[in-house]
Amino acid sequence: RLPLDCLLLLHKCIDLSGKMFTFPQQTSTTEVRFTTQRQDMRAVTVCLRSFTDLKREHSLFSLALPTGANGFLIIKSAQSDAFDIWVREQHVKIEAQDFKLNMWQSICATWDASSGLIQLWLNGKPSSKKYTSSGHSINGPMIIVLGQDSYGGGFDTKQSFVGMMEDVHMWDYTLSPCEIQGYMDEHYYPEGNVLNWNSVEFQSVGRVLIEEKLRACN
The domain containing residue 202 runs over which residues? 4-206
Enumerate the β-bridge partners of residue 140.
none
Residue 216 lies in a domain: no
Number of domain units in the chain = 1
> Is residue 90 a part of any domain in this protein?
yes
**Over the stretch 121-177, which tens digit does the pLDDT of each residue have?**
999 999 999 999 888 999 999 989 998 876 544 577 888 999 999 999 999 999 999
Q: Classify residue 139 as exposed, middle or buried by CB count within 10 Å of its CB (0-12, 13-18, 19+).
A: middle
Please indicate, yes or no, if residue 34 is contained in any of the structural domains.
yes
In a domain, 212, yes or no: no
Which CATH number does the domain housing residue 85 bear?
2.60.120.200
37 is a domain residue? yes
| Residues 28, 48: Cα–Cα separation, whole Å | 22
Residue 2, pLDDT score: 40
What are 13-62's pLDDT values in tens digits?
789 999 999 999 998 888 999 988 889 999 999 999 999 999 999 999 99
> 84-132: per-residue pLDDT in tens?
999 998 999 999 999 999 999 999 999 999 999 999 999 999 999 999 9
Residue 216: per-residue pLDDT: 67
Q: Is 122 a member of any domain?
A: yes
CA distances from 127 to 94, 117, 119, 120 (A): 7, 12, 6, 5
Q: Which of 17, 78, 71 is nearest to 52 (CA)?
A: 78
179 SS3 class: helix
Q: Residue 6: what pLDDT?
A: 41
Residue 214 placed within a domain: no
Does residue 217 sit within a domain?
Answer: no
| CA dist., res. 144 & res. 142, Å (int) | 6
Q: What does the DSSP assignment read for 62-73?
A: EEEETTEEEEEE
